[in-house]
Structure 1
Amino acid sequence: MLMDLLQLTIAEAHALLVRREISAVELTRAALERILAVDNTLKAFLDIDDEGALAQAAVADQRIAGGNAQPLTGIPLAIKDVLCVRGTITTCGSRMLENWVAPYDATAVARLKAQDAVLIGKTNLDEFAMGSSTENSAFVVTRNPWDPTRVPGGSSGGSAVAVAAGEALGSLGTDTGGSIRQPAALCGVTGLKPTYGRVSRYGLVAFASSLDQIGPFARTARDCALLLEAIAGADINDSTAAREPVPSYAAMLDGDIRGLRIGVPREYFVAGMEAGVEQAVRAAIDCLRELGAAIVDISLPHTRYALPTYYIIAPSEASANLARFNGVRYGLHIEGENVIEEMELTRGAGFGPEVRRRIMLGTYALSAGYYDAYYRRAQQVRTLIRRDFQQAFQQVDVIAAATSPTVAFPIGAKLDDPLAMYLSDVLTLPASLAGVPGLSLPCGFADGLPVGLQLLGRPFDEATLLKVGDVYQRATDWHTRRPDLTALTGNEP
């Protein structure tokens, strides 16, 4: 029964739980046994709460027995370790917070708990969510379950791997410039970056405050709909959380996209895109046409400026946000001769090379004499990118493109070339700068590795993205493919 349980979607598991054909404790034990079997190799998790998870599952079974099951009751989920979970260590993948215990729950986490979901552990990430490969964690390198010699993408690589490897039925990640969509594509799972403001950021340790957004990973668009509905909505603790009503996303999946207009931006088929990736994505777009959508060629002319714009704005905001980690109030503290030396020693030891690089980039861009030339100019270009999307959505309902120009690359291949690493997110950055929602779906394979189809939508129109994704997944089986983990015995490779 173990393998059967680990193949379930959230929606399927919910139906079985409600019918009392399985229990939440059985489902949670199956996930924990899978973690024990494969995670010593894959390294998706930084912390696993076995006892807590089983206790939560027992409570969930009581709720179900009393007829009080909600869509996520008893469902094993994983949480990216940049989100606060009360009473657990929240490291952000950094030595700076190696022993910091969160005193409260992030709003998104609290909303999962309110549904009696089972939170089994915290997943690995690039330090402070800065990276595209989950190699920048201070603790471990997470491996792609389709090929453990390759990266899972980042920064939410641990959350993507947890779902892809059956260690959890769903997970939460964060997306600042592609950190949900890109690892979803590279690991062959479904991942959603909601509209900026759709989900409260309270309890998310900030990287770039005007870009960060929390979102779900799961096996299907339907499962993402259930997770988004649980965590979305206004929050008194976050003034940027929009007061837009939260629809029943899953109820809106009616299986029909006939007449929907889907735009294909010519700028997204970039030089350097792998041939197998382009072939799979174009085949997926053709499939959407066969399902009744109208395919429209469009242009997003300022796309080529997204990469430099992002790498001015995001590091600038990071340099301000990470100033709080100075060894004085919380986190790592290293003694010195005076306060200045203590700060220098603490930050030098606590931050890894990628975080230090981005802090320096941001500090330079914000410094006197350079602010207008860099940060202000970048914000002006950001406005142009946002206008591109506004104009495109006057013509089309959804935009379709590749999520990543390549499949998962070998571990270590880009660590010494920051620009090559940054180019991994070239297709996800524009939507982040514009604040629009994005969904990544499995759409095929190239060289035996998963390829992702990216769907972008109007602000707060996640429902249409999820509908298109659901219709595509009803017509194809890419999302049902699973990596072969029989060779992973739980020992270091």
Structure 2
Amino acid sequence: MSDLTKLTLAQTRDAMRKGDTSSAEVTGAYSKEVEASGALNAYVEGTLNIAADQAKAADQRIAEGDAPDMCGIPLGIKDLFCTKGVKSQAASGILDGFKPEYESTVTSKLFDAGAVMLGKLNMDEFAMGSSNETSVYGNVVNPWKVDDRDLTPGGSSGGSAAAVAADLCVAATGTDTGGSIRQPAAFTGITGIKPTYGRVSRWGIVAFASSLDQAGPMTKDVRDAAIMLEAMCGHDPKDSTSADLPVPNFEAALTGDIKGKTIGIPKEYRMDGMSAEIEKLWSDGTEMLKDAGAEIKDISLPHTKYALPAYYVIAPAEASSNLARYDGVRFGHRAKLDAGDGITEMYEKTRAEGFGAEVQRRVMVGTYVLSAGFYDAYYNRARKVRALIKQDFEKVFADGVDAILTPATPSAAFGLGENMDPIQMYLNDVFTVTVNLAGLPGIAIPAGLDASGLPLGLQLIGRPWEEGDLLNVAYSLERAAGFVAKPDKWW
């Protein structure tokens, strides 16, 4: 078969089962693409030898007729997931050379299902960023190009988004703390789903903000997201926040029939200064769902305006606590010390050298809001606001709304280096952070192109634990939008 790298996950699976191709053949085709993709800087560690062995084993399983859906599928793994014996640095200098002795639960599940690892993918350092410009490995470049600028692929899962969009893997793992799966998916014209908090184990994933982080798949379309999400889900006794719930067959939920479903349109998401193109995309998406038989309902989520400030108190507070363990004592980078330096100097120098500017900024903000005089004024108040945001969603869902449609991002991808003001950068998460604060599932799907030819995405937010329903609404919207554009190959 020609053009093996253009196939979706479902098409690749089906072709392997029919004997039209093999995992070894598909893995070989992707390996060539990975080796030729240096200009995108998506991969930071190639594992093509491991991939070849895994593909061989997968072909054996397929031949024996005992192969799960993910068997033989070549994936890229975000550098936040610990992979046994393979460098896992969270794109940070402080974890320089760290090779875990254990495998994250998510990657274990995927490899047990027969998936193939092509390599580790670039990201924002410790998942802190919206543009993939904070990585110790340098910027990831969006495969979409409309002029002479290099564009951001979004962040923090920028390497995952760029790799899937550029056909450097069939699909990739991502993590989402405030939009880090959905925003890059929208910027690169792919699909990304953040499941309900607790649906996917966080064990073995380097922590940023433990009450917000959630892993999910980044794929070429909605069906692929359903297949891969099912393989990633499941109860894990090693993660105390993991939900002990059965995992449904998400692919079987994709009927495309949404007649009688109620879709909420929140008035608070009509932000001042929102571009006319995003506004039009949103109203077009609303019409598509209406034409598919859904009922459209205007809703109110009154505490939305407090979501960003609450998020940028809670996330840095949890980060400052989680990142305290990186001290240069047991693993990773340790600063060279001068004669007479003690343990305090070692901590100070190691952390100053090892952490990048954005991580340092968030650790300092987090330490400040948790300090004795400010804990109640900032952190506790932000937690109360979070509870109110969650309540807003609960009221809307109790009122019969099945899913909520919003834009995924305030704009299309911007140029690398163009958006250097931290506050401006944080505003990229304006449509996505509420979903993490409320612990809900959210999916971004590509729905159109802007005037210059860059992809734009829409976001659907679902009821907790009802990813199957959410994926089905997304599937219906995907079919109506008919987005098939791909970036022209220039790298």
Which bracket does the TM-score occupy, shorter chain normalised?
over 0.9
Shift of 1:476: 3.2
Instruction: Determine the structure 2 residue equivalent to 1:49.
Output: 47
Match of 2:94 among 93, 96, 105: 96
3-state secondary structure, aligned to 1:137: coil
Q: How does 1:396-475 map to 2 (within 5 A)?
A: 396-415=401-420, 417-446=421-450, 447-475=452-480
Shift of 1:451: 0.6
Instruction: Determine the structure 2 residue equivalent to 1:305.
Output: 306
Shift of 1:35: 1.6
Q: How does 1:156-195 map to 2 (within 5 A)?
A: 156-195=157-196
- Output the amino acid matched with 2:155: G
Name the stretch that deviates more: 354-363 or 323-332.
323-332
Distance 1:274 1:106 in 2: 40
3-state secondary structure, aligned to 2:302: coil
- Contact 1:272 1:405 (8 Å CA) reproduced: no
**Alignment gaps of 5+ in structure 2:** none
Instruction: Determine the structure 2 residue equivalent to 1:34.
Output: 33
Distance 1:253 1:245 in 2: 18
Shift of 1:98: 1.7
- Output the amino acid matched with 2:177: T
- Output the amino acid matched with 1:136: T
- Output the amino acid matched with 1:366: L
Instruction: Determine the structure 2 residue equivalent to 1:345.
Output: 349
- Output the amino acid matched with 2:119: G
Measured against aligned partners, the alpha-carbon deviations of 1:231-268 in whole angstroms (never above 9, x if no partner) come to 10110100100011111111111120001000010111
Q: Is residue 481 from structure 1 mapped to residue 489 from structure 2 by the alignment?
A: no
Instruction: Determine the structure 2 residue equivalent to 1:15.
Output: 14
- Contact 2:448 2:481 (8 Å CA) reproduced: no
Distance 2:479 2:18 in 1: 24
Match of 1:366 among 348, 370, 393: 370
Shift of 1:222: 1.0
Measured against aligned partners, the alpha-carbon deviations of 1:286-340 in whole angstroms (never above 9, x if no partner) come to 1111011111111101001000000000000000000000111211111321100
Tell me the matched-pair count.
483
Distance 1:347 1:258 in 2: 55
- Contact 2:75 2:169 (8 Å CA) reproduced: yes
3-state secondary structure, aligned to 2:225: helix
- Output the amino acid matched with 1:282: S
**TM-score using structure 2 length:** 0.97
Measured against aligned partners, the alpha-carbon deviations of 1:92-137 in whole angstroms (never above 9, x if no partner) come to 0100112000111100000000111011111000000000000110
Shift of 1:474: 2.6
Instruction: Determine the structure 1 residue equivalent to 2:257.
Output: 256
Q: How does 1:206-221 map to 2 (within 5 A)?
A: 206-221=207-222
Shift of 1:68: 1.4
Measured against aligned partners, the alpha-carbon deviations of 1:422-477 in whole angstroms (never above 9, x if no partner) come to 00001001111000000000000112111111000111111111001112223332
- Output the amino acid matched with 1:119: M
3-state secondary structure, aligned to 1:120: strand
- Output the amino acid matched with 1:483: P
Instruction: Determine the structure 2 residue equivalent to 1:333.
Output: 334
- Contact 1:281 1:452 (8 Å CA) reproduced: no
**TM-score using structure 1 length:** 0.97
- Contact 1:281 1:443 (8 Å CA) reproduced: no
3-state secondary structure, aligned to 1:391: helix
Task: State, as a whole percentage, how many aligned pairs show the same letter.
Answer: 50
Shift of 1:409: 0.7
- Contact 1:334 1:345 (8 Å CA) reproduced: yes
3-state secondary structure, aligned to 1:393: helix
- Contact 2:8 2:221 (8 Å CA) reproduced: yes
Instruction: Determine the structure 2 residue equivalent to 1:138.
Output: 136
**Alignment gaps of 5+ in structure 1:** 489-493
Distance 2:32 2:157 in 1: 22
Distance 2:288 2:475 in 1: 13
- Contact 2:140 2:152 (8 Å CA) reproduced: yes
- Contact 2:285 2:481 (8 Å CA) reproduced: no
Distance 2:482 2:263 in 1: 21
Q: List structure 1 segments (4+ residues) > 3 angstroms apart after TM superposition.
A: none
Distance 2:408 2:69 in 1: 29
- Contact 1:151 1:408 (8 Å CA) reproduced: yes
3-state secondary structure, aligned to 2:474: helix
3-state secondary structure, aligned to 1:271: coil
- Contact 1:277 1:445 (8 Å CA) reproduced: no
Instruction: Determine the structure 1 residue equivalent to 2:396.
Output: 392
Distance 2:43 2:482 in 1: 28
Match of 2:108 among 94, 107, 110: 110
Measured against aligned partners, the alpha-carbon deviations of 1:331-379 in whole angstroms (never above 9, x if no partner) come to 1111321100011110000000000000000000000110000000000
Name the stretch that deviates more: 431-440 or 65-74.
65-74
